[in-house]
Structure 1
Amino acid sequence: MSYSTGFTPQAFDHGITICEIEVTIGGDQYDTSALMRSESTRDRSEDATSKLDGVGALSVAQPPSQTSINTLPLDVLGEIFLHCRPTERYPVPSIRDAPMLLCRVCSLWRQVALSFPTLWSTFRGNMAKVTKPSHVSLVKLWLERSCSHPLSLALEPTPSSGLIMNEFLGECHRWQKINFFLKEDAGPQFLALRGESACLLESATITVWSGNWEADEVVPILHALPSLRQLTLYLSWKLTPAFAESTWPRLTHLTLNSEIFYSSLFALFSHAPNLELASITFVAVTPTMLNETLPSVTLPHLHTLNFSAEDYTGHILDTLTLPSLRSLGIANPNLDSDPEAFQRLIDRSSCRLDKLCLLGSEPDDDIVPYLELPCMQSLTILILEYGVFDDVIRLLTRNSESTTADDPGHILPHLDNLEISDVMTAEGLISKMLLSRWRPHSTVGLLAPLQRVRVEWRSAHCDGCPAKDHPESYETDITCFERLAAQGLDITWKF
């Protein structure tokens, strides 16, 4: 069974509108046009609870019974309604969008929309810069219509947003995903949460801004959540050792947007043995910390590691063993420190690296020794986002005399996805490299062809840039890019 919708709620902005929905099920196509007349001069204010649905705001002409979408089974119609919702992860409740808009079409659609709790179970509690009583009523309405379905909720700090938080807390036993920004407005209310009460909560994104409230009490609440698997934490202060010393045996995904000391990070890793993905904004390492003796930490399931550290990148990697590692991303690394640390990590872990992302390294750092490491030759995705010079592009250019992947003269023979930013190269050099790696009719045994390329040249107006008048300076490259795009390569470029 398949279905597609062509629902355009923007059509309701005018006096007489047509809503067209096309449905394909098992190869049969149903097509209907319902002519609806709205009163454009009517006050559309959402301040009154009686108008939350806009009931009676539309005069609906019922479509023919034999050709109407209404002949579909109600469960199919409900599934179609799910695809009519706004695309935002946490949409704001509005009478101009599904599901509230669907309640205004006809009595049948209203009945179907109200019978699908899923339609009402994901939303953002903020509807304006200031929370009004009518907004609280609307939140109550959505929570009621979601019945017992698990909830995905978001809340941002606005005056009186604590009123919304109180309504959310009343349904904490149904929370499945939350994205809360906690300040003085709603933070104190959140502290009333007993972690064990949110027994279904699997994913939490929490931003905590310190102020005139006990913001540091949020972390213990998160630790008490019995089903938490994915945690993204934004803090306005450095993580305390207490956070790292807590056990997190159920966590599989951890994103920390806060500075954490080197020793605390590895204490945290040792207390979260089931991590599969870890992204750490900044690891603080000082020379005195290097004298500390830290046991090696093994994370058997970790497949993705991203972190930022200005110095001692190699020292951080030497403390880890990651048998499942496939993706490694490092921001602001000092690449001149210890290139072999990457190789030691891969050898010690006996893993195969598929993706490498280096962000914001110094322009004078030498990336070439890293790309020449044996552990890098398995890469299929390479992302370089700082200071890509001629030597890197020349290294990536294949030797036209050989086409086999086992040729030792070829760098990154399996690479099919390349993203390079802050590019400063001679004209024509990138196009030559791409042509050497572009084989639109590649066969088994040949080098892997490129499939996706992103190129961003350094801005002509930034400090320290070569004096070039581009894009005219790169006409050769751009002409080649256009030709490769016509041949099927997924390529984009910008300055």
Structure 2
Amino acid sequence: MKASTLLSQDDIRSQRLARDQSALDELEAQALDAETAVTSIQAQIVALETSLRAAREWKADVVPRRDALRLSVAAQRSALSPMSTFPKDVLSYIFQHAVRAHDNGRWPEPPYMASYDLSLAKAPYTLARVCTYWRQTALTTPSLWSYVALPNGAMYPAFASHVSLILQRSKAVDLEVLVEYVSSPSSEIFNRMFAAICEHITRW
């Protein structure tokens, strides 16, 4: 009876060993497959890194040449434009009249209040974006940049930069100043912009 019990325990151990060995064999096979996959992927990564370096070198060579040729083509197109044959003083005169064409009536008599003219504020930037020649002309025409306004809702750093740029590009010409605030604002940005404009009060 005792020998029979021992044999049963051995059988149990043998069965467990067989199961564990089978599971181990399966895991060994999976580990080998995983290692093979890692090796293969690493080889692909090395190949891709080599291709990436080559592509970056190609881009570094092509992009500057493309940009230079793009500028050359733009300059040639600009040179062929009829407007590019105008002397700068004539083009500047045209710009001034184009910008001020809708001025009539913008400054009503009291007690009416003038309102912010967005189209007038944007006009010099629009002209300066057309081509290099127009930009050069616009930047050397201070009267285009004489409209300085502090409208409601524009109290943010980018607008402060715009005001600073206007004051710089307008040089010594008279300024057309508009402040839409009725009461004294507490905005630090407004105070800074208004102080900058006040530095040019002799041009108001």
Larger radius of gyration: 2
TM-score (norm 1): 0.21
More contact order relative to length (CA 8 Å, sep ≥ 6) = 2
Name the TM-score, length of structure 2 as normaliser: 0.48
Greater strand proportion:
1
